[in-house]
């Protein structure tokens, strides 16, 4: 029998977070070509979220109608997710691997008596068991876990899976089988979200391409070379700790152990030596390109492609070529 999969939709603006679409993609693979994939949404933006799930081929959606879930903490949602999973006969609950999704995954696993893993980059069935691969040790290694027990909760690492390309459907919608959320579980509620300064372009955590600059750019006015290449690529801008400590760019752009962890499809490191504190934050990138004038820089040990040379010549030439190819 094809296993049923439940995908928990994470609200973002007027729709769903991009990580939800990626979770739907892997759900279709694990459920089989025509296997049952269901979605779960709640809150004020549920109508838009339902339409989005339908665009990705999800034919059955459960909606949490309790207004108490709007902005609620993961603890308030765990029992509702567990109840919905049982209703659709799911063996697997999938969530996007945001901070919220990872927190909720653990709580759902407790409420549903399931095995759990966070940050999966590959998932496949092994008979009744589920094999989950994920990066560990700051991305310097990967591990594969074999989950047993018949019930599984997994959060997927952002950008690890493609967005599904399936014919859109009109989902059937039903109320999720959850009673009122106990007041003690509601705890603090999120009243709003305010973006931190991050410059132009996509958000660092969600970007498919990240261009980061380090101390090798030599001066704050030279950081424009990093930003111009990022703009040409439609990428997010990142920075090393040396750059943010010097005040050249805000701390919200820092990639590394004490900053942001990113896992884009493409990471371009410009003038970054490759200290381990920085590598921890970007080692899970699909492809790493390094540009540095020191051929012995540590960054070249992890790079898929490296250019040892003067970044003040290489980066403008690369930016110009990208603009030429893209016609921008």
pLDDT digits (tens, 9 = 90+) for 224-268: 999 999 999 999 999 999 999 999 999 989 999 888 888 899 999
Report the 10 Å Cβ neighbour count for 198: 17
142 and 63 in a common domain: yes
pLDDT given for residue 122 in this prediction:
94
Establish if 305 belongs to a structural domain: yes
3 state DSSP class of 287: strand
Q: Are 217 and 316 in contact (CB under 8 A)?
A: no
DSSP 155-193: EEPTTSSPPP-------EEEE-S--PPPHHHH-S-----
pLDDT given for residue 34 in this prediction:
66
Establish if 135 belongs to a structural domain: yes
pLDDT given for residue 179 in this prediction:
59
Query: Which residues face 174 on adjacent strands?
Result: 62
Each residue's pLDDT tens digit, 172-221: 999 888 655 666 666 666 666 565 555 567 888 778 999 999 999 999 99
pLDDT given for residue 159 in this prediction:
82
Which pTM does this prediction carry? 0.74
Distance, CA of 227 to CA of 215 (rounded, Å): 15
Q: For residue 32, what are the contacts with CB-CB under 8 A and spacing of at least 6?
A: 2
Structure tokens at 167: 């014919």
**Which helix (H) or strand (E) segment is 270 a member of?**
strand 266-270
pLDDT given for residue 298 in this prediction:
95
Structure tokens at 136: 């560990």
**C-alpha atoms less than 13 angstroms from C-alpha of 320 in its C-beta half-sphere:** 6
Task: Report the number of distinct structural domains present in the chain.
Answer: 2
Establish if 201 belongs to a structural domain: no
| Structural domain of 176 | 4-186
27 and 62 in a common domain: yes
Domain CATH number, residue 11:
3.40.50.620
């Amino acid at each position: 029998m094809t296993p049923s999969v439940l995908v928990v939709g994470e609200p973002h603006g007027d729709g769903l977070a991009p990580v939800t679409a990626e979770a739907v993609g892997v759900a279709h693979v694990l459920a089989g070509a025509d296997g049952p994939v269901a979605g779960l949404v709640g809150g004020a933006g549920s109508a838009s979220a339902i339409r989005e799930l339908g665009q990705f081929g999800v034919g059955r959606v459960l909606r949490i109608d309790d207004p108490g879930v709007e902005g609620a903490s993961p603890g308030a949602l765990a029992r509702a997710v567990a109840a919905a999973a049982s209703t659709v006969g799911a063996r697997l609950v999938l969530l996007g691997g945001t901070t919220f999704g990872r927190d909720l995954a653990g709580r759902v696993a407790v409420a549903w008596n399931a095995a759990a893993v966070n940050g999966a980059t590959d998932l496949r069935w092994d008979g009744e068991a589920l094999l989950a691969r994920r990066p560990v040790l700051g991305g310097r290694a990967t591990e594969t876990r074999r989950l047993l027990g018949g019930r599984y909760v997994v959060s997927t690492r952002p950008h690890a899976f493609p967005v599904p390309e399936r014919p859109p459907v009109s989902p059937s919608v039903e109320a999720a089988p959850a009673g009122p959320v106990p007041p003690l579980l509601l705890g603090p509620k999120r009243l709003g979200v305010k973006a931190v300064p991050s410059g132009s372009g996509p958000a660092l955590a969600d970007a498919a391409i990240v261009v980061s600059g380090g101390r090798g750019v030599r001066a704050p006015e030279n950081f424009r070379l990093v930003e111009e290449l990022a703009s040409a690529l439609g990428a997010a801008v990142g920075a090393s700790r040396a750059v943010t400590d010097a005040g050249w760019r805000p701390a919200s752009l820092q990639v590394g152990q004490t900053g942001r962890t990113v896992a884009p499809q493409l990471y371009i490191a410009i003038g970054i030596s490759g200290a381990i504190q920085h590598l921890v934050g970007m080692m899970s990138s699909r492809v790493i390109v390094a540009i540095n004038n020191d051929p012995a820089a540590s960054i070249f040990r992890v790079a898929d492609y490296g250019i040892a040379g003067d970044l003040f010549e290489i980066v403008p030439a690369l930016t110009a070529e990208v603009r030429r190819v893209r016609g921008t």
